[in-house]
Chain A
Amino acid sequence: QVQLKETGPGLVQPTQTLSITCTVSGFSLTSYYMQWVRQTPGKGLEWMGFIRSGGSTEYNSEFKSRLSISRDTSKNQVFLKMNSLKTEDTGVYYCALWELGYWGQGVMVTVSS
């Protein structure tokens, strides 16, 4: 069955880079778009971007300058990297497969020194 699981650092210092991995199973990354969404106390749910089945990406301009989404299809993994972190980036980060109606459990990220 379809599963998505995010793994990440938990705590990141301000100005540093956040790296989160979404490991998937039960479907092929080359067939579907993979989304990244975050949920913060300040702004609620925010769409961050996606990687298409063909590998191209689309980003929310809110994050575009510091966000990168990539994947390794051989490992069934999708990656989110965001640099120049601020305390306002604290929240839960989700990967999601909207076309089939699945979200990961999310990973809590705290940005603090």
Chain B
Amino acid sequence: DVVLTQTPPTLLATIGQSVSISCRSSQSLLHSNGNTYLNWLLQRTGQSPQPLIYLVSKLESGVPNRFSGSGSGTDFTLKISGVEAEDLGVYYCMQFTHYPNTFGAGTKLELK
């Protein structure tokens, strides 16, 4: 199975600070069809996961453009340019290039 390793496990930030989360895959996530099926999700406390980014860098509808995704192959990054209070929660990367689809262990974003 593809293992997704997220770092850091916990991220302390102040409002307005820019932060980045890394997601490294044990295998390349480039599919034979040319797409890279790497998504990012946010799970706020007590809520279900909310999709933020798909195909590495495309924002889901309604997601603020302070969120951005980048990367290729096995290394991916989620960046938040100016954290806001509503951004607090646990961020997950997930892949569905390879079966079984897998998730990272999560990065918890908290206020400093």
Interface residue? A27 (CB, 8 A)? no
Is A60 within 8 A of B96, CB to CB? no
Contacts of B96 in A (CB 8 A): 47, 98
Contacts of B71 in A (CB 8 A): none
Size of A's binding interface in residues, CB under 8 A:
16
| Least Cβ–Cβ distance between B85 and chain A, in angstroms | 22
- Name the contact of A45 in the complex, choosing from B50, B61, B99, B103 (C-beta under 8 A): B103
Contacts of B50 in A (CB 8 A): 103
Interface residue? A88 (CB, 8 A)? no
Is B100 within 8 A of A44, CB to CB? no
Interface residues of B (CB under 8 A from A): 39, 48-51, 54, 60-61, 92, 94, 96, 99-103, 105-106
Give Cα A9 to B39, complex, Å.
31
- Taken residue by residue from 58 to 94, chain A's Cβ proximity to chain B (1 for < 8 Å, 0 otherwise) reads as 1011100000000000000000000000000000001
- Name the contact of B48 in the complex, choosing from A47, A58, A103 (C-beta under 8 A): A103
Interface residues of A (CB under 8 A from B): 44-47, 58, 60-62, 94, 98, 101-106
Contacts of A47 in B (CB 8 A): 94, 96, 100-103
Give Cα A61 to B1, complex, Å.
10
Is B51 within 8 A of A105, CB to CB? no
Contacts of A58 in B (CB 8 A): 99
Is B100 within 8 A of A60, CB to CB? yes
Is B102 within 8 A of A44, CB to CB? no
Contacts of B100 in A (CB 8 A): 47, 60-62
Is A101 within 8 A of B92, CB to CB? no
Give Cα A36 to B28, complex, Å.
24
Contacts of A45 in B (CB 8 A): 49, 92, 94, 103, 106
Give Cα A45 to B39, complex, Å.
14
| Least Cβ–Cβ distance between A2 and chain B, in angstroms | 11
Contacts of B103 in A (CB 8 A): 44-47
Question: Given A44-B106, A60-B100 in contact, is the A101-B60 Cβ separation under 8 Å?
Answer: yes
| Least Cβ–Cβ distance between B31 and chain A, in angstroms | 15
| Least Cβ–Cβ distance between A44 and chain B, in angstroms | 6
